[in-house]
Structures are given as structure tokens and as C-alpha cells.
Structure 1
């Protein structure tokens, strides 16, 4: 527990981990929001909502390597600005898109989903020393001198 206590004592680390948790929760709830929109507002079936959710979910799987390469070449700031802009355009256009366009737009929005994991990893790496980032191999059953 001492290692975790030391890590959380780093200035700004608790806030970073809290924001990261909230961002991951928001990304997870996106599928629920789109499902409810397709079923309740568009009046379509859960199967149709599943197609939109599948398109949105497939996007990060396909776009992750692209975003990683772009972060390496262009920098994190450029990728964040681009992905946030794409997400804003997507969510502002959802109410006016017909179903077919919504499936395509969901896939495009998934491709350019805000990269929360890489941002968190880079921030932790910048805020900590190499020793703090090293995994502690001691376990609870090993006697400590």
C-alpha cells in the first residue's frame, strides 16, 4: 500500500486519475445514450440500435493504431483537438441524421474517439519518476526484512 500512497501523493495525480475515471465512464455511457436515442426517439428496434453501437464500438478498435501513430508523428495536442472537434460535430449532428447516416457517422466518431488511455499514460509518465513507474514485485506472502 505504501507504493500507492506515494504515487497518489504526487501533486495532481489524484485529480488526473479522477478525471481519467470520469472520461472512461463517459465513453462507456455513449453506447447507452445512442441505444436509447435509436429506440426511443427514432422508434427503431434494439437490433437497429445494436448496429449503431457496433459501428461505434468497432471504430476505436480500427482507429486506435491510427491515433497512436498520429500521436507519435503530430503530437498529443493535435490529436486531442481533432478528436474533440469530431466528437462535438458528431453529437451535434446526431438529432438531424437519418438512421443510415447515423450508422456511418457512429463508425467515423468511433474511429476518432478521444484517446483517454494514451493521454492518461503520458500524463502519468510525465508526472512520475522512473522508480515510481516501476512495478513493485513484492507480494503479501513474501517476508520483508
Structure 2
């Protein structure tokens, strides 16, 4: 990873980036269950899920969210940090062996309410699709970003 200084003013509405694919494995699901304590049968019980509408185990929504956000992480930017996630929606299940790809698009920029001269929020719509192009997850990732310092002559 590279370190890149990117300020609030450097983000453009409509700019996008798309990841390479990543296949979700049984190991991913088992590790996530162990880390979170979520051993719900939809994720862990192959025999039970065979009797359910999906017919097979599904990945945790929080696993897909975590992997997707990681897939969008690139350069280290000391001028911005993750502020959180809004409007998270788990639209379709992800199964063992599915390959996901992530597209992130800058959709909005807003000033910080208390420090509008120095900080702003960058809103990034994160869309996750599977290998057949079906959307499986959508969320808004918010970044708190520094603005360029005001010039000393202003």
C-alpha cells in the first residue's frame, strides 16, 4: 500500500473504483462465526440448510460487509478516516464458492456541521455483486476528511 494525501476537495462526485473478485470460502464463514459467536444454522448446518428455501449455507451478511469494505481499501490516506456506515442492506445471499466484486462510487460531499472550514464528509456508495452480476449488498461508507488549510493571506 502507498500513502497518499487526499483531501476533501480532491474527491469528485461520480468517481468510481472497482475491485478484483474474491471467492467466499467455507473457511471464511467458519472463521467469521468463531470471531463473532454467530453460529446460526443458516451459516453452519449443511444438513438443515438443505431443507430450507436457499438449499445451502449462506455467508453472514456481516462477513460480506467486512470483506467488501476490505476489498475497497487501497492506499493509506492520513487525511481521511472511516466515520461509519449507513443504509446497509443485505439484498441477496452469498453462498460458499460465490465470487464477489465491489464497486465504490463517491455520491455526496457535505461539510462538517461544527468545523466546516476544516472538515467534511465524503459519502461513498459501496455495491457488491456476485459472479452472475446480482447485487448482494449495498451500503454507504462515510469518510471524515480534512480540508486543505486556508491560505494565510485570506
- TM category, shorter: under 0.3
Between Structure 1 and Structure 2, the one with more strand by share is 2
State the TM-score, normalizing by the size of structure 2. Answer: 0.26
The structure number with the bigger radius of gyration is: 1
Question: TM-score w.r.t. structure 1 length?
Answer: 0.27
